[in-house]
């Protein structure tokens, strides 16, 4: 005779993600641990449906990757332009007519 408990099967086990990778639901449930791992182990990948969606990195790494916003890149591009010697003539602004408004 088969017991009822022998008929029940356990749900299929999903494979564990590789180190440094988190399923979205695990990242949400264990966010504090995720942040600690970023600080100790480096960037952590969060996956959705088996695909990398975001990478969580430390704030100082983000600032380093973002770089300073000085505008120097734009100045360098304009200086290297073959049209840098072209004179631009800018017309004086024309005053638009103003109409009376009854309030």
Q: Torsion-angle region of residue 67: left (phi > 0), alpha (psi -120 to 50) or beta? A: left
Residue-range domains of the chain with CATH: 20-68 (3.40.1620.10)
Q: Helix, strand or coil for residue 48? A: strand
Residue 7 has pLDDT above 80, yes or no: no
- pTM of the prediction? 0.55
**Tokens 């970023």 — which residue?**
38
Condensed to tens digits (0 to 9), the pLDDT of residues 34-83 reads 999 999 999 999 999 989 999 999 999 999 998 877 888 888 888 898 98
**Tokens 């017991």 — which residue?**
3
Greater pLDDT, 3 or 42: 42
């Amino acid at each position: 005779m088969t017991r009822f408990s022998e008929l029940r099967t356990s749900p299929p086990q999903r494979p564990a993600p590789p180190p440094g990778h988190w399923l979205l639901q695990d990242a949400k449930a264990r966010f504090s641990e995720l942040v600690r791992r970023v600080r100790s182990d480096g960037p952590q990948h969060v996956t959705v449906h088996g695909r990398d969606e975001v990478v969580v990195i430390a704030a100082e790494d983000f600032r380093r990757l973002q770089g300073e916003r000085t505008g120097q890149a734009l100045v360098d591009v304009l200086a290297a332009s073959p049209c840098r010697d072209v004179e631009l003539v800018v017309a004086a602004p024309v005053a638009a007519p103003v109409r009376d408004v009854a309030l």
